[in-house]
Amino acid sequence: MFQNYFTSESVTAGHPDKICDAVSDAILDAALSQDADSRVAIDTWVKGNTLGVIGEIKTKSNLDFEAIARAKVNEIGYFRPELGFTGGDLEFFSKISAQSNEISQAVDKLEGPTGAGDQGIMFGFACKQTKNLMPLPIVLAHELARKLHEYRQELEKDKNYILGPDGKTQATLIFDQNWKPIKIETLLISSQHSADFHQSDLKKLLIENVILPVITSLEIEDLFQEPNILVNPSGSFVEGGPVADSGLTGRKIIVDSYVGWARVGGGAFSGKDATKVDRSAAYMARYLAKHIVTQDMADEVEIQLSYAIGKAEPVSIGLLGKLNHHEKEILNYINSNFDLTPNGIIDFLDLKKPIFSQTSAYGHFGRIDQVGGFSWEN
């Protein structure tokens, strides 16, 4: 029988790149909470016990970047000195300037609709493979990572620190020739842990408290037939986080979006306000893709939007997928019913609210824990 294999991955909120995404989005939310018209483009970097924020901001908000960063690092789980990186003790740097006048004028110059804050290409995707209209390997990888994070937090409530904040997951599924999932082939979890915790005990612990609960919650027990389960395949994983690896905002854009199943746009999401179409148009493209699939205009669809800096209307709209209607008919439907200017997207998806910290880990699309929470998923 012909079989297809597909693998997706995710990382926990304690991964160095995700620490950076979280800090960048925390600064964005802090700005928006005081000034809804804030324009923010913040990148964060981290290595060892040092964290820096760089970028541009135009806002009326009064922001304490250092306090925001330290609080977010502690919240993620880096509050113990033995981890080598903590919100309380980290060395903090910042280099933040005002938004470029040329960029600001490009956004402001048009009468009526706001111009795009930059050029770019964005993609949205949806399919009927799962109830949240995402491919199952992506959903499974994200849910394993999120559950690993939650389980560590549960242990820490009882002062049990056998797990550390850093972690990664991976899910490999087998599909039939029509891309219907038929079996979970391999599940992989790499989790930071204390030096005195044995690997065989860790595997048993994570199967019982992370893997099996996720399989049950997703109602995919029929696919869970003696899969290959790998836990810390490299062996020991005591040293993790920024001590073991550096981190940068936006470096996990593949994990943030469709994890290889669909195309990814040219820009990352975190740390950017909604005038940056890298973020807002990607959210709108996902909304449109979901809408087209739920209206049975397609069983699977990928939408591309492209923009030019300072121009309000998209330069192009593209469609690809298993369409049930002619491409021209779907495009006419989109153009007749949706305002795809930056202002139109911001108003339609209500993107001036401080909601972005919730997106910084476990994906921006199809989030099971955010049902009804993200406007682009409704």
Residue 142 parent element (H or E): helix 136-157
- The parts of the chain modelled with pLDDT lower than 70 are 1-2, 99-115, 117, 371
**Size of the chain in residues:** 378
Residue 369: per-residue pLDDT: 86
| Listed residue (2, 99, 22) closest to 357, CA to CA | 22
CATH number listed for the domain at residues 16-108: 3.30.300.10
Beta-strand relationship, 181-193 and 228-231? parallel
- Specify whether the CB–CB gap between 180 and 25 falls below 8 A: no
Check for a shared fold between 4-10+141-240 and 120-128+252-377: yes
Predicted local confidence at residue 110, as pLDDT: 44
Residue among 279, 270, 284, 255 nearest 377 (CA): 284
Q: Are 42 and 59 in contact, with CB atoms under 8 Å apart?
A: no
- pLDDT at position 166: 98
pTM listed for this prediction:
0.94
The pLDDT score that the predictor gives to residue 144 is 98
Supply the pLDDT for residue 100. 54
How far apart CA 18 and CA 21 sit, in angstroms, is 5
The fold of the 4-10+141-240 domain, in CATH, is GMP Synthetase; Chain A, domain 3 (3.30.300)
Residues 6+ apart with CB under 8 A from 148: 12, 163, 167, 169, 189, 191, 206, 210
Q: Give pLDDT, residue 112.
A: 47
CA 323 – CA 330 distance, rounded (Å):
9
Domain ranges of the chain: 4-10+141-240, 16-108, 120-128+252-377
Architecture of the CATH domain 120-128+252-377: 2-Layer Sandwich (3.30)
């005038």: which residue's tokens? 275
pLDDT on residue 107: 57
pLDDT tens readout for residues 323-375: 999 899 999 999 999 999 999 999 999 999 999 999 999 999 999 888 678 99
Measure CA 254 to chain center. Answer: 8
Tens of pLDDT, residues 17-65 = 999 999 999 999 999 999 999 999 999 999 999 999 999 999 999 999 9
Smallest CA-to-CA distance from 21 within 8, 31, 12 is with 12
